[in-house]
């Protein structure tokens, strides 16, 4: 689990909820019509802007923002050093028989076992990097658009509430609910954008940076293994990727 994400979710929601309860009850801040306008409108606009499969993929990716990274860069460096040790003891062909969870590690091990030239490895790395960045960019853009749409639909809800209020000024009982919709939709838009969509997009961008670094470590390590074949030399070449060095 990603502790920072958990703390952010718990503390952020606790502070907002506490502020609401200090001035009344939570029921004061619940308006179904406002939620329909903001959430439903933003998601509908997003479905118009992107292919449905991309929106579904983005929401699936959002489910993993609270999970820890699969592998940190320092662990990836150690993995490449271990691969170098295996290749030195058993030959590079032994790497093709090893099992890996990550696809790019499997591909790197195959390139090493094939004795590929450095140019081929770097070309494969470039293709893999660009493909991964493109996939991740679409998911991040989905949440960026949701964060932009929510305040806009909040303003639409505000205008709807104001129109309803002005149309019923002769009925004092109708003014309150209409004003509530007008104000709450603006609040919902700001909350969805800044407490949900923007943080998710930022977390996905952070995960992308980590995956890019892991990919670079993997393929740079593959080149070093083929060129040097010494775990210590491989570690020294890859250690610059480790944060804090």
The whole-number pLDDT of residue 180 equals 76
Does residue 224 or residue 46 have the better pLDDT? 46
From 140, 139, 128, 135, select the one nearest 103 (Cα to Cα).
Answer: 128
The whole-number pLDDT of residue 152 equals 96
If pLDDT is split at 50, 70 and 90, which confidence band does 79 have? confident
Q: At CA 43, angle to CA 178 and CA 133, rounded to 5?
A: 145
Which stretch, 19-28, 44-53, 115-124, has highest mean pLDDT? 44-53
Digit-coded pLDDT (tens) for 120-136: 888 888 888 899 899 99
The whole-number pLDDT of residue 20 equals 86
From 157, 150, 196, select the one nearest 177 (Cα to Cα).
Answer: 157
Q: Which residues contact 135 (CB under 8 A, 6 or more apart)?
A: none
From 75, 106, 91, 74, select the one nearest 225 (Cα to Cα).
Answer: 91
Q: Which residues contact 228 (CB under 8 A, 6 or more apart)?
A: 84, 234, 237
What percent of the chain has a predicted confidence (pLDDT) above 70? 97
The whole-number pLDDT of residue 202 equals 93
The whole-number pLDDT of residue 70 equals 67
Per residue, what are the HEC states of 122-147?
HHHHHHHHHHHHHHHHHHHHHHHHHH
Between the CA of residue 100 and those of 10, 189, 237, what are the distances in Å?
A: 35, 43, 23
Digit-coded pLDDT (tens) for 163-179: 888 887 887 777 777 78
Digit-coded pLDDT (tens) for 41-77: 999 999 999 999 999 999 999 888 877 666 788 888 8
């Amino acid at each position: 689990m990603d502790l920072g994400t958990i703390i952010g979710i718990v503390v952020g929601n606790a502070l907002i909820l506490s502020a609401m309860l200090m001035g009344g009850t939570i029921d004061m801040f619940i308006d179904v019509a406002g939620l329909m306008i903001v959430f439903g409108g933003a998601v509908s606009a997003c479905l118009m802007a992107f292919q449905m499969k991309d929106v579904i993929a983005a929401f699936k990716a959002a489910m993993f923002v609270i999970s820890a990274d699969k592998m940190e860069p320092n662990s990836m460096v150690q993995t490449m050093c271990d691969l170098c040790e295996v290749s030195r003891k058993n030959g590079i062909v032994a790497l093709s028989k090893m099992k890996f969870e990550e696809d790019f590690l499997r591909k790197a091990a195959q390139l090493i076992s094939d004795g590929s030239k450095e140019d081929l490895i770097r070309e494969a790395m470039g293709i893999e990097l660009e493909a991964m960045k493109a996939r991740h960019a679409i998911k991040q853009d989905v949440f960026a658009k949701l964060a932009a749409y929510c305040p806009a639909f909040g303003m639409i809800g505000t205008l709807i509430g104001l129109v309803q209020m002005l149309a019923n000024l002769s009925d004092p009982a109708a003014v309150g609910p209409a004003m509530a919709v007008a104000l709450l939709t603006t609040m919902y838009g700001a909350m969805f954008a800044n407490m949900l969509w923007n943080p998710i997009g930022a977390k996905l961008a952070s995960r992308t940076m980590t995956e890019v670094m892991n990919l670079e470590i993997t393929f740079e390590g593959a080149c070093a293994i083929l060129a040097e074949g010494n775990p210590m030399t491989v570690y020294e070449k890859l250690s610059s990727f480790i944060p804090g060095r």
